Amino acid sequence: MKQCICSSCINLKGIINEDGAILEYECEFGYPSEDCLQCEAGECELSCSKYISDDEPEETIKIYCSKCNKELSQASKDSGEGQVFCVNCYLNI
């Protein structure tokens, strides 16, 4: 039996209510879709070209604090514009 493709995708994000509880999950690429509501448990046949396993390590790049030059890691998909600060320097600005 196949597990739902959405259950292990890094693109699936929880929608949180005022109390901090997750109401539902959604993906910027359209999943879970209407087909997921019709899917019988354990019988998922969906595929997604944007699927990325949440078990895969996220690619990072090395960047440096603009003030103290401490080495930091940044997710490669973030296009950080402007100055970057480590936590200590940011709090002391």
| pLDDT for the residue 34 | 67
Residue 63 and residue 79 in contact, taking contact as beta carbons nearer than 8 Å: no
**Average pLDDT score over residue span 48-72:** 81
Q: Is the pTM of this model over 0.75?
A: no
Reported as a pLDDT band with limits 50, 70 and 90, residue 76 is low
- pLDDT, tens only, 24-43: 778 877 766 666 666 655 56
Q: Give the count of domains, the chain.
A: 2
Whether residue 20 is found in the same domain as residue 50: yes
Tell whether the model's pLDDT for residue 46 goes beyond 80: no
13 membership: H or E segment, kind and range:
strand 12-16
**DSSP output for 23-77:** EEEEETTS-S-HHHHHPPTTB-----TT--BTTSPPPEEEEE-TTT--EEEEETT
Whether residue 85 is found in the same domain as residue 71: yes
| pLDDT for the residue 1 | 47
Whether residue 72 is found in the same domain as residue 36: no
| pLDDT for the residue 48 | 76
Quote the domain boundaries for residue 19. Answer: 1-56
Whether residue 68 is found in the same domain as residue 52: no
